[in-house]
């Protein structure tokens, strides 16, 4: 991530009661927030292949990968790199839970 990225609070999602994946808008950015066994991760809302919506994507490999249901392309949530679609990269976002229990996304 860039050093000039900032953390933005997600007001519309309560991690204790919300369903995931959750699509949120942070200024001009739209982000899908996923819950993984290691915490939370954000991704762009559309697959970089043919712009299929990722709100129905399937988490795989214990939450470490995301599979687009349109063409079964798989992306690593750690860095967005395509696993079975060489050359494609999904934009990923760091997501954390603040001390007051709200989610924050690094934009």
| pLDDT per residue as tens, the chain (107 positions) | 445 789 999 998 999 999 999 999 999 999 999 999 999 999 999 999 999 999 999 999 999 999 999 999 999 999 999 999 999 999 999 999 999 999 999 99
Omega within 30 of 0 (cis) for the link into 104: no
The owner of tokens 């609070």 is: 9
- Alpha carbon separation from 92 to 42, 62, 100, 107 (Å, rounded): 6, 17, 24, 10
Q: Which long-range contacts does 77-80 make (Cβ < 8 Å, 24+ apart)?
A: 77/34, 77/36, 77/41, 77/43, 80/43
The architecture (CATH level 2) of 7-106 comes to 3-layer Sandwich (2.102)
The burial of 92, by beta-carbon neighbours within 10 Å (0-12 exposed, 13-18 middle, 19 or more buried), is given as: buried
pTM, rounded to two decimals = 0.91
């Amino acid at each position: 991530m860039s050093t000039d990225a900032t953390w933005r609070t997600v007001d519309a999602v309560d991690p204790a009661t919300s369903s995931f994946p959750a699509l949120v808008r942070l200024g001009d950015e739209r982000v899908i927030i996923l819950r993984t066994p290691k915490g939370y991760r954000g991704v762009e809302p559309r697959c970089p292949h043919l712009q299929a919506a990722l709100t129905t994507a399937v988490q795989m490999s214990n939450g470490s990968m995301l599979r687009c249901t349109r063409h079964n392309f798989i992306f690593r949530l750690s860095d967005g790199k395509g696993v079975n679609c060489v050359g494609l990269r999904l934009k990923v976002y760091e997501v954390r839970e603040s001390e007051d229990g709200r989610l924050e996304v690094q934009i």
